[in-house]
Amino acid sequence: MTRFIVQRLAESFIVLLIMSFVIYGLIGLMPGDPIDLMITADPKLTPEDQARLRALYGLDKPIVERYFNWLSAAASGDLGYSRVHARPVLDILLPALGNTVWLMGLSFVLALVIAMPAGIAAALRPQSASDNAINLLAFAGISIPPFWLAILLIILFAVVLGWLPAGGMGEPGLASKLQHLALPVVTLTLVTVGGIVRFVRAAMMEALRQDYVRTARAKGLSARRVVLGHVLRNAMIPVVTILALNFGALFSGALITETMFGWLGMGKTIYDSILGNDFNLALVGLLFATLTTLLANLLADVTYAWLDPRISYK
Amino acid sequence: MSQAPKYELAAEAAYAQGPPQSVGRVLWRRFLKHRLALGSLIALVLLVLAALAAPLAEAVSGLDANKVDLLGRFLPPTAEHWLGTDELGRDLLLRLLYGGQVSLLAGLAAALCSAVIGTALGLLAGYYGGSLDAFLMRLADGVIALPLLPLLIVLAAVDLTKLGLPEAVATSEDVSFYRIVILISIVGWTTVARLVRGATLSMCSREFVRAAEALGAGGPRIMLVHILPNVVSPIIVATTLSVGNIILLESVLSFLGLGIQPPIASWGNMLTGAQELIWSDPALAVWPGLLIFVTVIAFNFLGDGLQDALDPRAIQE
C-alpha cells in the first residue's frame, strides 16, 4: 500500500510538472505581455527602454529557458509577485484558499446530507412516485446553468424578499460570513447534489442485485439491517471514489459561484487574474487548483483500495 | 393427433406467439414507453424549428434582431415586441431565437466532433492495445482529472495571432464560434473514447472478428466494418447525454465573456449583463437561462430514454 501511494504521488508530481509547462506556455499566449502593459501605462517609454525592460525580465529569451528559470525560482520558494495586487502571490492565494474551503466544504456536506437519503430512498423503491420525483429533481439540478440559478436566487432572496445580501464578503465575524455564504453555498449545493443522488441511487441498485443481499434476506435479517449493513456498506465504495474524482467539477462550480457572488475564493481569484493579465497569479493559482485536484484523485484511489479488500496493490 | 404442440425452448415459445418484430420496431416501442424522453424529443424539435424560423419571424414582424433603439430600452411585452426589449432596445424574442441557433449549433457541433474523436481514439486503443492503449487512456484520465473550467478559461483567452493565425481570421466575428467548438472537443472526447475502447475490447475476442482476421482483413477494415457498427449504441447514448453538458459549458464560457462574442447572440452571452439588470428588469435575466435549462434537461432525458431503449440487459422485460 505504501509503495502504491508513493508511486501514485510520483505520477501526480510528473503530471503537475507537465501541466506547469503547459500552463506556462498558454499564459505566454494570452494577449499582451507585462512590457506591453507597462507601455500602455507610460507612453514615454522608448523602444530602447522596452528592449532593456524585456532583457531585465528575461522576456527576450526562448520560452523553454524562461520556463526553467521560473521553475528553479519556484522550487526555491519564490512564486513571484501579483502585478495587480503588488504583493507576493501566496499572500493573495492563501486567504482565497481559505474562503474556497468554506464554500466548497459547506456545500459538499450539505449536498451529502441531502443526496444520501434521497438516493437510498429512490433505489429502495424503483419506479415509484418518490423515485420518479427524486430522479426528476436530480435531472433538474444537473441541467440548470449554475450562473442562472445564482441570478434567480439573487432575484428572489436579495431583490424581492431582501433577506440575504446579493454578494460580497461581509464584515469580519462569523454571523456576517455565514449570511454572505448562504446563497453561494445553496447555489453550489443545488448544482452538485443531483449528480451525487444519481451516483448513490445507481450504486445502491447495483448492490441490491448482489447474491449476498439475497442470502442476508433469506437468513431472516430485518430489512433495515440488510439495507444498512449489507447494501449501503458495499454501495459506498464506488460512491466515495466518485465523490473524490468529482473534485475538479466541484471546483469548476465553485469558480462560477464565487464569480457570481463576489466571494473572494480561489476560483474568482483565478478568473480575475486571467482577465486582468495578472500572469503570475494566474499561473500559480491554476497550478494550485491542479495540485489539489490531483491529490483528490489520489485520495480516491487510496480510499478505494482501503474500502475494498478485494483490491490489492502490490 | 389434436395434441397441442409442445415447445421445447423458450425461444420457440416466444416465436410461436407471433412473428418476430424488427429490432428497430422493438427499440422504437421501448422508446415510446419512456414518456419523458418522448416529450423531450418533441420539445427539442420545436426549439430547433423555432430557432431556424428566426429569419422568417424577422421578415414577418418587420423587426431587426440587431437594431439598437436607445429610446425603446427595457420595454415590457407589447404587441410589437412579444417579450419586450433588452438593454439596447433590441427585440428580446428575436435575439433569443438567433441565440438559440448559435447555442444549439455549437452544442451539436462540439458533441459531434467529440464523438468522432472519441470513437477514433477508442477504436485504436481497444484494437491495437499495448502502449498506444496505455498512452491514450492515461491521457483520458489526465483530461478528466484536471479542473476543466479554469483551464478552458485560459485556453479561451489565448491570443490567436500569437499562434500564427492571420489577423483577419483571428479577429473575424465567426472565430469565437469555431474556437469554442474546438476547445470543447479537445476536452470532450474522453467519455466516448473510454466507452468505445471497452466495447472494442470485448468485440475483439468474438468469432466474427476472429473470422475476419483469418480471412485476411486489415486493421482499419476490421475496425470500421466489423467493430464500429456493433458499438454504435453506446456512442449514440453518450453523445446525446453530452450535448446537454456541452450546451451548459458553452453557456458558462459565453456568460463569463470567453465564449461566443457579441454581437453574435448566444443564450449564454445574453446573460452576461443580466446580473447588473436584475434590479431594473429581471425578465431579461430569466428568459435566456430558462431556454438553456429546458434544452439541457431535454437532452438529458432524451439520452436517458435512449439508454433504457438501447440497453441489451433491459430486453427481457
Q: For residue range A163-215, list pLDDT tens digits in order.
A: 888 777 777 778 888 888 889 999 999 999 999 999 999 999 888 888 888 88
pLDDT at B308 over 70: yes
Q: How far is B207 from chain A (nearest CA, A)?
A: 30
Q: Are A184 and A158 in contact (CB under 8 A)?
A: no
pLDDT at B114: 94
Residue A220: per-residue pLDDT: 86
Contact A26 B155 (CB under 8 A): yes
Res. B315: pLDDT tops 50:
no
The answer, yes or no, to whether residue A313 has pLDDT greater than 60, is: no
- Are B145 and A159 in contact (CB < 8 Å)? no
- Evaluate if residue A224 carries a pLDDT over 70: yes
Percent of chain B with pLDDT over 90: 21
pLDDT of residue B17: 56
Percent of all residues in chain A with a pLDDT value above 70, rounded to a whole number: 98
Q: Under an 8 A CB cutoff, do B257 and A275 touch? A: yes
Tell me what pLDDT residue A108 has. Answer: 93
Q: Is the pLDDT of residue A66 over 90?
A: no
Q: Is the predicted pLDDT of residue A140 greater than 90, yes or no?
A: yes
Question: In this complex, do A151 and B304 lie within 8 Å of one another by their Cβ atoms?
Answer: no
Distance in angstroms (rounded) separating the CA atoms of residues A185 and A195: 16
Residues on chain A touching B159 (C-beta within 8 angstroms):
29-32
The whole-angstrom separation of Cα A23 and Cα B146 is 12
Interface of A with B in 152-191 (CB under 8 A): 152, 154-155, 159
Structure-block grid coordinates of residue A1: 500500500
Task: Compare all CA atoms of chain A with the CA of B151 and give the residue at the minimum distance.
Answer: A286
> Does B144 contact A at CB distance below 8 Å?
yes
B20 band by pLDDT with thresholds 50, 70 and 90: low
Task: Say what the pLDDT of residue B8 is.
Answer: 55
The nearest CA of chain A is from the CA of B125 a distance in Å of 21
Minimum distance, in Å, between the CA of residue B232 and any CA atom of chain A: 23
Please indicate whether, in this complex, the C-beta atoms of A252 and B149 are within 8 angstroms of each other: yes
Which pLDDT band, with edges at 50, 70 and 90, does A127 fall under?
A: confident
- Chain-wide mean pLDDT for chain A? 85
Polymer length of chain A? 314
Of B147, B275, B279, the CB nearest to A289: B147
Using the predicted structure, report yes or no on whether residue B1 has a pLDDT greater than 50: no
Top-confidence residue, B120 or A47? B120
- What is the tens place of the pLDDT at every residue in A261-287? 988 889 999 999 888 888 888 889 998
CB contact under 8 A, B279 and A159: yes
Flag whether residue B165 sits within 8 Å of chain A, measured between CB atoms. Answer: no
Q: Which of A198, A196, A203 is nearest to A233 (CA)?
A: A203
Binary contact (A31, B278; C-beta < 8 A): no
B11 Cβ under 8 Å from any chain A Cβ: no
> B13 — contact with chain A (CB < 8 Å)?
no
| Mutation choice for B interface testing from A22, A143, A241, A261 by most B CBs within 10 A | A143
| Cβ contact B148–A270 (<8 Å) | no
Smallest Cα distance from B144 to chain A, Å? 8
pLDDT in tens, B84-117: 777 766 777 888 888 888 999 999 999 999 999 9
Please tell me which residue of chain B has the smallest CA distance to A31.
B159
Beta bridge partners of A88: A81
Residue B118 confidence (pLDDT): 93
Instruction: Name chain B contacts of A96, Cβ cutoff 8 Å.
Output: none
The reply to whether B296 touches chain A by the CB within 8 Å rule is yes
- H or E element, residue A280: helix A279-307
Mean pLDDT of A6-20: 87
Query: What per-residue confidence (pLDDT) applies to A258?
Result: 93
B231 closest CA partner among B34, B239, B20, B138: B239
Of A81 and A156, the structure prediction assigns the larger pLDDT to A156
Considering only CB atoms, which chain B residues are within 8 Å of A24?
A: none
Across the interface, do A23 and B151 touch by the CB < 8 Å criterion? yes
With 0.80 as the threshold, say if the pTM is over it: yes
Q: Contact B89/B71 with Cβ under 8 angstroms? A: yes
CB contact under 8 A, A252 and B275: no
B282 interface with A at CB cutoff 8 Å: yes
Higher pLDDT, residue B79 or A291: A291
CA–CA separation, A89 and A91 (whole Å): 5
Of all residues in chain A, the percent with pLDDT exceeding 90 is: 23
Residue B272 confidence class, pLDDT cut points 50, 70, 90: confident
- Nearest to residue B301, comparing CAs of B243, B256, B262? B243
The 8-class DSSP code of residue A309 comes to T
**Residue with grid cell 524585456, as numbered in its chain:** A54
Nearest-Å Rg of the Cα atoms of chain A is 24
> Is pLDDT of B75 > 90?
no
More confident residue, A201 or B55: A201
Q: What is the pLDDT of residue B89?
A: 66
Counting Cβ atoms within 10 Å, is residue B1 exposed (0-12), middle (13-18) or buried (19+)? exposed
B120/A contact by beta carbon, under 8 A: no
Rounded Cα gap, residues B273 and A295, in angstroms: 37
Which domains does chain A possess?
2-75 (no CATH), 89-307 (1.10.3720.10)
Higher pLDDT, B284 or B33: B284
- The answer to whether A99 and A264 are in contact (CB under 8 A) is yes
ipTM of the complex: 0.85
Range 264-283 of A in CB contact (< 8 A) with B: 267, 270-271, 274-275, 282
Amino acid identity, position A49 = D
Q: In the beta sheet, which residues pair with residue B85?
A: B91
Task: From residue B39, give the alpha-carbon distance in Å to each of A55, B301, B308.
Answer: 64, 9, 15
Report the range of poorest mean pLDDT among A9-18, A249-258, B160-169.
B160-169
* pLDDT at position B3: 54
A137-166 mean pLDDT: 89
Three-state DSSP string of chain B = CCCCCCCCCHHHHHHHCCCCCCHHHHHHHHHHHCHHHHHHHHHHHHHHHHHHCHHHHHHHHCCCCCCCCHHHCCCCCCCCCCCCECCCCCEHHHHHHHHHHHHHHHHHHHHHHHHHHHHHHHHHHHHHCHHHHHHHHHHHHHHHHCCHHHHHHHHHHCCHHHHCCCHHHHCCCCHHHHHHHHHHHHHHCHHHHHHHHHHHHHHHCCHHHHHHHHCCCCHHHHHHHHHHHHHHHHHHHHHHHHHHHHHHHHHHHHHCCCCCCCCCCCCCHHHCCHHHHCCCCHHHHHHHHHHHHHHHHHHHHHHHHHHHHHCHHHCCC
Q: What is the CATH number assigned to the segment(s) B31-69+83-309?
A: 1.10.3720.10
What is the model's pLDDT at position A186? Answer: 94
Q: Determine, for residues B293 and A144 on separate chains, whether the beta-carbon distance falls below 8 Å.
A: yes
Q: State yes or no: pLDDT of A100 exceeds 80.
A: yes
Q: What ranges do the domains of chain B cover?
A: 31-69+83-309
pLDDT of B317 strictly over 50: no
CA dihedral A280, A281, A286, A289 (to 10 degrees): 140
CB distance B255–A145 less than 8 Å?
Answer: yes
Predicted confidence at residue A26, as pLDDT, reads: 86
What average pLDDT score do residues A48-53 get? Answer: 77
